[in-house]
Chain A
Amino acid sequence: MDWTSWVISTVSRALAFGVPLLWGTLGEIYAERAGVVNLGVEGMMILGAFMAFAVTQSVGSPGLGLFCAAMVGGVAALVHAFLTVTLRANQYVAGLALSMFGLGLAGLLGRGWEGKPLSSTLPYLTVPGLSRIPVLGPMLFQDQTVLTYIGLVLAVLLWILLFRTRWGVAIRSVGENPATADALGINVTLVRYLCVVFGGLLAGVGGGYLSVAYRPAWTEGMTAGMGWIVIALTIFAAWDPLQAIWGAFFFGALYHLSYRLQAFLAPELLKLMPYFFAVVVLAASGFGRARWRRRAPAALGVPYVRGER
């Protein structure tokens, strides 16, 4: 195979595999910008993956499946918001509980659905006109689902919302200094709830994409740690929706290459690549001058109680 077609197909598949990572990361960025870490992404994604598959298989509509995936992700995130914002539980432990619960519940519910191919999947598109551009066309405008493009547009819109609007100022101030935000009349609890639930909606869609588009089938544990990669990507992207695009693309490429390179290396060793690189990338970006860029929202992980400092 000549190398141009190899590069083209790799870029195209990296983009497709980056979709669940991009959606999940965009959601987690919003939750963390408002000051709430949600380690439950893995659980929300797997619940979304199962829900999307089950609904699509029963009703025959991948769109409705993805909608329900978003809903189940949102409900799971609502639980997290209630525990961490209202009950002020430890955010790390609450998120871990959500992941354990989600993995267990999806495994339990999904037992009868295992191994059945999905009858109607999310269609792969060929963008008319643009797909005929040499090189770029097949890279970007063929064999992608609509979620690739919505995800990219969403990243831009969310960046604008976060850095160019009053709402964005409200979200960021809640994550940086909730007491001041409160004094300015911003409803800290409401902002945190909204951001966490929004994150859950996106994580649910990201999981749903896996089961109705990328590998149209249901297998237990099919998210295989992508939810944790999302947490790493959020840090790597410096809580910036636009940078999440590059991160998701890079890790999408790693996931894709772990299948692609099996002729050269044992598949098990290839599969550990994304996790290995997640550590390496975080270590590299935490080294020396890059460190200042990666400052987390100041109130991240800290519950807010009015009148306490």
Chain B
Amino acid sequence: MKRLGPFVLEPRLAPSRAAVLGVSLGAVILALLLASVVFYGYGRNPWQAYVQIGRGVFGSWPSFSEVLRRAIPLILCGVGLTLAFKAQFWNIGAEGQLLAGAVAATGVALFLPVPEVWRLPLMFLSGFLAGGIWAVLPALLRVKFAVNDVISTLMLNYIMIYIVEWLVHGPWKGPTMRGFAYTDAFPMSARLSYLPQTRVHWLTLALGIGAALVAAVLLARTRFGYEVRVVGQSTEAARYAGINFTAVFALVMLLSGGLAGLAGVGEVAGIHWRLRSPAHISMGYGYTAIIVAWLARGSPLAAIFTALLFGLIFAAGDYMKTALNLPFQITGVFNGLILFCLISFDILMFWRVRLSKREKAWIGQAGSSAR
């Protein structure tokens, strides 16, 4: 117990729901305050800038729908990452897994001779598998070869980025695209339809929300979910319980990477209709999803809402670029600041603040409150 003026700080073992929500909200607000400095640096009044961005983003349904559009890959990747993080598997590779899904979907869209009705379902299936396999690799490397998961997933991001670069500059470069590093455009049967007046490819959005529901049930109600949680909390306990580490890590990463792969399918089939440079396809969704999952505190359902928050930041970034003439890199600074504030506030959740009168400590009295 610590005393700060009239307040008493007491430790608590499990933070309450209200504490988690309050602390997370406080962290996000502090991050936005800190980000005000950036607006000052560009000679703008931060308050006016925030108001203007708010009006711009929430002003109309088409502009607000961009928040949803940006949230789609974040929901899918974020839900996947909550699963991996539950098992204490540090999947930093959603970016590469997303791109793997995009590559597989492009392959099916452009080169696989299948009936037109089967094309989209096969794209999603192959995207899931490609992302999943790209994620199972680090799981096996960790279990069999003791390779640190942070490193392997990160390295696989870079490897996949260069594979995509190679494909769009080399073998898959579209003959009709002349100078550009694009593949040919997808046929109509390989394109996703939008909600009216928007670029929200609703099928991928539905998949994301469905995935969050399934993941929540999986974690809370099944044997597999139990094993994931045990592995995540204590490897010793998991070993005593006879849990097969290889199977749990492989399966959890297959799902985690598979969902990121679906996000990649959504981006190429819903937005770009072709494979192109990785920086255009992803814009760091895979990395932002780490914050989405962290802010969701391991709950797949909460990841839907945290993904919407970061969808908002991306949409605000678009708006700042076009309307306020500020560089898009601002979103990276925002994301980093939010993550900084979140983790530095974490410790607060484990303390309860209470107002109490200072008592006189008598000599010989046990456990005096004023230390």
Contacts and interface: CB of A to CB of B under 8 A. Distances in A.
A107 B329 contact: yes
Interface residue range, chain A: 35 or more
A231 B330 contact: no
A90 B343 contact: yes
A228 B155 contact: yes
Nearest to B141: A283
A284 to B, nearest CB: 8
Which of A235, A286, A291 has the most chain B CB atoms inside 10 A of its CB?
A286
A228 B154 contact: yes
Interface in B169-196: 169-170
Nearest to A236: B151
A113 to B, nearest CB: 13
Contact of A282 (B148, B332, B337): B148
Interface stretch (A138-146, A160-168, A264-272): A264-272
B162 interface: yes
B169 A107 contact: no
Given A96-B92, A269-B162, A83 B340 contact: yes
B128 interface: no
B166 interface: yes
A216 interface: no
Contacts of A220: 329
Nearest to B154: A228
By secondary structure, the B interface counts as helix
A89 B165 CA distance: 36
A104 interface: yes
B344 A87 contact: yes
B159 interface: yes
Interface string A218-251: 0010000100100110010000000000000000
B343 A228 contact: no
A88 B347 contact: yes
A105 B329 CA distance: 7
Interface string A270-288: 0110011011001110110
A266 B166 contact: yes
Contact of A272 (B150, B162, B329): B162
B154 to A, nearest CB: 5
Contacts of B92: 96
Given A83-B344, A108-B38, A93 B339 contact: yes
A105 B333 contact: yes
Interface of B: 38, 90, 92, 141, 145-148, 150-152, 154-156, 158-159, 161-163, 165-166, 169-170, 287, 290, 294, 327, 329-337, 339-340, 343-344, 346-347
13 contacts: A79-B340, A83-B340, A87-B346, A90-B343, A101-B333, A104-B336, A107-B332, A232-B151, A266-B170, A275-B159, A279-B156, A279-B159, A287-B145
Given A90-B343, A279-B152, 18 more contacts: A83-B344, A87-B346, A89-B346, A90-B346, A93-B339, A96-B290, A96-B339, A97-B336, A105-B336, A107-B327, A108-B332, A231-B150, A231-B151, A275-B155, A275-B156, A275-B158, A283-B141, A283-B147
